[in-house]
Structure 1
């Protein structure tokens, strides 16, 4: 049921006569709270309340343990209840742009989570317990206040998509070699940091299809990256790269290469083939 973008200050009473509703989209409204009447929607598994005016985490949601996909991003609260762990069936949790300074440890025990979006908050680290998210495939931790790359991420070996670009927030200086543990990665975004190099071990991420490292301070890229035969998109624009590896012709799947804004002297002919 789609009630998005209707400038609603409250949810219509008629909604609560539809217990069969499974997906409810109420994003882009003016809601400051969610009513207890939501409990009438006993089949609800997906709730998108993104971009409202919610002042606190809605307590009613803690009673809706059937929820699997919950989007509360871009609201007006900046903390989560410790008993968010009651939502044991959650597979996707979207907490974008809430100015969170901490994540309750309970989030780290939502063992069914596949997607966690914490983009645009004020987190300066991640709890070691995040390793318990053993099925996590997508983590967007971009635009936070990390003082260094959270080492705990490298223990999330099921990850397929990782975003740690820092368009806003503190800039990362180093990507640890332990990134090589994430052998299932297909997408790695480390853009908008102050990286001066990429670890050669990125070349071990054989499933990588997208590598975005634009707007850093890279002066070169390691030859090992040229062995990523599944790589389709490589963004390196806005760095300080003077020369590209001569073996880039090994990247047989590459379709999208961006290198503008670099002081390139001699791009190898292989790039043009």
Structure 2
């Protein structure tokens, strides 16, 4: 095997690679995608290695084993669970680095930009905020191209991308980027104009205007507004007067800097849609049960480490989106959850608490892609006896065939097929 140039071990459910792989002096291509790997052996002695493909595995940390491969050109770690780059990343010799569909919160710009040969970085569909992206764009040399679509705060991606590829790098780049992502805020006249229009249309649209706080003047519309759109700003808190919006049906605050909600949120009896995706929220107040007409809650891409129990009291809720958080388990009270569609993709789930989840009698769609689930978590009662007719489960610790072999799968498949026919 000393003359081996390409090694393809993809789709084998491997949990580890032997250290001997690192002793193959002629190896040029290593393909280990779609396994269950959490690390790679030291590849520094693979002196001719040019390509490493390790997508769809279980990496939670960037593998140091590739950092010292002297001839490495392409490094692909798509669809893993990597959250940051280690300081050792500066030793990476790769020309192209691809980590889309991970959980990156940081680029470790100082060390990543020390990679001497780096020319292309793809970090689409991660959890990077504006500041992380701006820091990289402002400091990267013009020959490095970066793609960062689909992150926590994706506003003005095209503008930042253009600056990242501009040849005229200077201090003005940072100031321009700050302006693009809304540091300056809208003028008073602009806000007043929107307020005047909203008094007639009952819709206040201040999306992406650079707001750092909700203007006090908005309170004047408390008894009028039906739809309040404040997404893609820099708002850090919701004022308590939000509870006065007795007629509000839709509240959109995605991609801001919120860490919590005021108790007064529960006073909005007619609220139907609450969109809080892309913030830093860790929990929801118990008072949210007061939103008795609430149908949809989107709290994806936040900082939940536990399932928000307070949501269970929302009896009219149809859709709950908790994608891209850090939830590891589901509580026993999940049996009382009233939702039709539950999305928990790209969390850290190790258990589904199937015995209780299967008792959620309105649940029809369950999305748990990109977690840490074993096939045994999909117990017979969930597949055979529950009302769930659609389950998405890619990127966990089992393959499609494993799922099809589970007890109760045939009953689930009948419900799934019937649902697809209706569509």
Shorter-chain TM-score category? 0.7 to 0.9
Look up the match of 2:240: 82
Unaligned runs of at least 5 residues, structure 2 = 1-155, 157-179, 419-423
Measured after TM superposition, the shift of residue 205 of structure 1 is 2.9
Say if 1:46 and 1:40 are closer, same or farther in 2 by CA, change over 3 A: closer
Q: Find out whether 1:48 has 2:209 as its counterpart.
A: no
Say if 1:29 and 1:122 are closer, same or farther in 2 by CA, change over 3 A: closer
Q: Which has the higher helix share?
A: 2
Look up the match of 1:177: 332
Quote the RMSD (CA, aligned, Å). Answer: 2.6
For the 8 Å contact 1:208–1:228, the answer to whether it is kept is no
For the 8 Å contact 2:381–2:408, the answer to whether it is kept is no
Measured after TM superposition, the shift of residue 165 of structure 1 is 1.6
Give, in whole Å, the separation in 1 of the partners of 2:261 and 2:321.
Answer: 18
**TM-score normalised over the length of structure 2:** 0.49
Look up the match of 1:249: 410
Look up the match of 1:222: 379
Summarize deviations over 1:170-224 as a string: whole Å, max 9, x none: x1111112112123x2110011111112122222234333210011111121222
Give, in whole Å, the separation in 2 of the partners of 1:44 and 1:61.
Answer: 14
Summarize deviations over 1:33-69 as a string: whole Å, max 9, x none: 4433444433222233323322321333211131111
Look up the match of 2:192: 36
Which of 1 and 2 has higher RCO (CA within 8 Å, sep 6+)?
1
**TM-score normalised over the length of structure 1:** 0.74
Q: Find out whether 1:120 has 2:314 as its counterpart.
A: no
Q: Find out whether 1:165 has 2:331 as its counterpart.
A: no
After TM superposition, list the pairs within 5 Å mapping 1:132-211 onto structure 2.
132-166=290-324, 171-183=326-338, 185-200=339-354, 201-211=356-366
Say if 1:203 and 1:86 are closer, same or farther in 2 by CA, change over 3 A: same
Number of residue pairs the alignment of both structures matches: 226
For the 8 Å contact 2:283–2:304, the answer to whether it is kept is yes
After TM superposition, list the pairs within 5 Å mapping 1:51-66 onto structure 2.
51-64=208-221, 65-66=223-224
For the 8 Å contact 1:134–1:158, the answer to whether it is kept is yes
Whose radius of gyration is greater, 1 or 2?
Answer: 2
Measured after TM superposition, the shift of residue 122 of structure 1 is 1.1
Look up the match of 2:390: 233
For the 8 Å contact 2:244–2:267, the answer to whether it is kept is no
Measured after TM superposition, the shift of residue 253 of structure 1 is 3.5
Give, in whole Å, the separation in 2 of the partners of 1:228 and 1:118.
Answer: 33
Look up the match of 2:60: none
Measured after TM superposition, the shift of residue 128 of structure 1 is 1.6
Give, in whole Å, the separation in 2 of the partners of 1:162 and 1:192.
Answer: 14
Summarize deviations over 1:79-122 as a string: whole Å, max 9, x none: 22221222211111111111101212221211111111111111
For the 8 Å contact 2:194–2:204, the answer to whether it is kept is no
Extract structure 1 runs of 4+ deviating beyond 6 A: 28-31
Say if 1:95 and 1:59 are closer, same or farther in 2 by CA, change over 3 A: same
- SS in structure 2 at match of 1:70: strand
Work out which of the residue numbers 230, 236, 243 in structure 2 matches 1:72: 230
Give, in whole Å, the separation in 2 of the partners of 1:74 and 1:228.
Answer: 42
Give, in whole Å, the separation in 1 of the partners of 2:206 and 2:292.
Answer: 27
After TM superposition, list the pairs within 5 Å mapping 1:255-270 onto structure 2.
none
